[in-house]
Structure 1
Amino acid sequence: MNPNHHPNHYNPNYSSQLHFNQPVPFFEDPNQLYPEPDPLYESDSRWISPWQPFQGYRAPDEELEFPQNPAGETSLTWWRSVALIDFGLRKKLQKTRFLQTAVMKLTETKNDNLNCLAYTMSDITLTEHPAAAKVRETLTKKVYFCSDVFPVTAESMVLHYRQGESEEARCINLFTAKPEQLAHLTSICGNATFGLGQQDVLDESYRKAKKLDTSSFFSGLERNDHVNEIVNKLTLTLIKQNDKVLRSELYKLNVYDQGSFFKAHKDTPWADNMVASLVIVFPTAHEGGSLILRHGGEEFVYDSAKELGSASTPSIGYVAFYSDVEHEVTPVSSGYRVTLTYNLYLEDDTTSPSRQISVPNSASQSFREALSTMLSDNTFLPNGGLIGFGLTHQYPVKDRFGDMDYRSCRPTPQNKEAVQKVLGILKGNDRMIYDTFKEFGLNAYLRVIYEDDGGLAMSEYIIDDECGNGYEESFLLSMCGGKQPIAELLRLPADYQDDEDYDISKHYGIPKPLTEVNWITENNTYNRLKVDYIAYGNEPSIAHVYGDFSLICEVGPVQNRKVL
């Protein structure tokens, strides 16, 4: 059948080529195929009706053309027939491997469930504008921990403990405890394990310590409400939000005796609102066992032996730090280091609606002033644009979405919601930046930046690792209805020439790279769809992993900007 018989089907500006990887089933209805000359190569080609399900065609060395969408056609079949799976031109289009699938909207359509998951982007480089540099300078100081010595009552130092499910309990005063008492406590503890990916591992070359689960002990600190007092202080220091509070959850008791240690790791994120960890150290005699925190190129050493060694009254030491902060415990050279660890969760404050804690400190005030100066500068994005901040901290997100459609790798509402939830648990400078944007009336949103062998890409969705690693294969399976990928569909302009300088994306509907972002700060790390390293934690990861995010802000023309 000649294409003139269906004038709405054919557009000489486009040619879709289907390159087969293996023989595939022939169409059940041979009348669906119509031999016609290929407008690009002037060789034999085949036509397929866009209303028929695409199943593949046994012609390894031939190509297939898809006619244009008839006016008003909105079927999913049509969307699949114009889906671009561009692997052959990866370098020309500067796309990354996991987002080679795009959709060309050639007509108005109601089917938008195949929209692009992400936009490609060039390597991140910081803007050199002087006003932006001033903003950057205000963010050099980072608060990621809080530590102190906290006086407690004498009865708060009493620890009741038992071995396993035994009904026989013993008690020990951790302010006056003798070595033999601490030795007994240590003897009934189990070996402390750690998380290696999703496995619970016992390896004393990485972690050597003892532990008691919460069902086997009770601390007097809980009875006397000292922990809540500390957590309230931490809310004021680490969480500067009027409508949020920290909730503590006792996690473990650990004993580090001579030779015990724990190499560098990050605490396992138990939920998407877990934001910090609290370690309480009892004043038992010990040497060594310092807690070292590392974040953003900075390091802090908490020497509990030194901090508590001179205490003449019952006191405990504590260190609270954001949960994405890397930390380690150095070897204990003598004595017993006894600690309680709490997970800290960020929750809505439903008890004190009038609480006011957002008093600008020197850091936030400096940032506000520098941002105001930058926005009022006529030479900074005079016509408007995007500015970007790589977030200082990592945030927990689900590492799998159970209802993800792996055959088509289409984003679900859960993928997008996972990103938006992070806005509610921003920490430190990240929270300060976002709150200041809102104060200035700026539209700001989170984006996920992924890194792969092909480069960087930005997405508003969490791209599931399982989907990302097999994106090429899974979409082809979805489109072709087979059990193995059989084709590679490229939609090219009819006048395309194999020229390195040919800009396909500019003229022929292929999604363009992301609008340029003027980066004020960059991310320290980027997400990878293919995880080629194993994260160490205090427990195996069950449902959440840490993710890297960026905060993108829309800046209007200079005459429309709100300056405070």
Structure 2
Amino acid sequence: MSAPTSSPFVVGLVPNPFQGGPPTSDAASSSESTATYPLRPVTNDPPKAKKTLAQLAEQQILEQLKEAVKGYQSIASYSCGGSIPISASTGNSPFATTASGESPLTAPPIALRWDVSGYGTARTVHFPFTETQNQTLRNTTLFNELLQACAPATFGRKDKDILDESYRKAGKLDRSQFSVDFHPHDYGIIDAISQILLPETRTGFLENREEHRGVVAELYKFNIYSGPAGKFKSRVDTPRGETQFGSLVVCLPYPHEGGQLRVTHKGHSKHFNWSNSNAAAIQWAAFYSDCEHEVLPVTSGHRITLTYNLYMTQQIGSVLQRFPTVDPALFPLYDGAKKMVAQPSFMAKGGTLAFFCSHSYAHHRLSSSTSTLLPFALKGIDMTLFTIFRSLGLSVSVRPVLDQNDYQLKQIDRHHEEEGLVFRIGYSFSQTAIEDDGGHDVSWRDTEKMFQKVFPHTRTQNLTWLNSVAWPGYNGAKGWDLAMVNMTYGNEAGMAWHYSHAVILIEVPKRGERPIF
């Protein structure tokens, strides 16, 4: 009798808990629910302990989890969603109840207004409907008018709008035809998208300044999918610009059954089921533009949604854009600064104004993007000062200055026989440097060379400071960031830590060479 070609020992595969989609029946999956393990050649190696069924199942689940979280836009984070309960007692502002973060987030009833064609008037309906009989009857009449106002929804294909109700059956209002007193930013939805979806977006927009990106939601369409045949078959949207990265769908509270939103990415599907008979909450889902998504058939009622296009925007640093929304001339400090620069006797020979940034910035990070953070990340008075003097036509920069209370730097200055503080201004921001040279038993010239190599800088005393700062090690010291670390050698080896502070430098030309106002 011939030897068997496979082991009679059969282990059932563990269903992948990270694979989305509705469960399959046992009969349908029985042919794929087992795996066989072939016999291995006999060796002289000591036998390995066989894994138990529980251990094999655990190992398989762990491998599935590793695969789920691997790489950019993994199947663990291609979509997100949530719900916001509606309460009639909620005021017009959601911020009053959410400022502390200790109370549940609720929203007031949503008012939708739309134009009535040919009459020059508008209609208003509230979601959810009120429970009084007369108001319900009135809302039902208004809702029927809303249904009649909606045009058949189309879909895009090769730069054309296609109407095919076998593919998409829904009603729609264009953005110019309606208004709604709901905005997703008011309820933390945009903040959640910024934290979950935005970091995984790969684009050249603000490259190396990813932390300065923000999200803006553009209201795009109002749609009604009505039972028993409302649907939208699976498709992948074409982004409406280089900065669009996703879509947001908000479902308004109205009773319906079916109409689940299915979002699919890399073979994994997530279902958002918003159907219920007693809707009293706003439901939402957001997903990447490259995800397949479809609206499954609505079996009864009406599925009512608002669709938003999600775009990346410059959240931090927009004040320094070529065409900013902020006018520097409207800052309270602007007029005084302008008069000062225009005064002939002010710094007649020219010079440099210096200002220790009043806010703290991680300007020496272990990141290649360190040099791109400033001035875009400036805030408060720092950004105000930078913007005003730049708008006056002066050369303004943000640079790092080394701690002048540093022992090694003081020793160098003593050998230079210079009176007063000598400031070492770095040419640019860089990563925190680690150097194995330097020390107390090394000549001051070698130490100075080491500083120049690791922290390229210029030495100057000719700065007119607009403020002062507490040096590292003193009470109230803030804003200092670790610039470099080097070895010291004396009686025993040690480490020396050197800090820098971000400063704003304003170059004032001499009289006669300044901008004329």
TM over 0.5: no
State the TM-score, normalizing by the size of structure 1: 0.36
Question: What is the TM-score of this pair, normalised by structure 2?
Answer: 0.39
- Of structures 1 and 2, the one scoring higher in RCO (CA 8 A, sep 6+) is 1
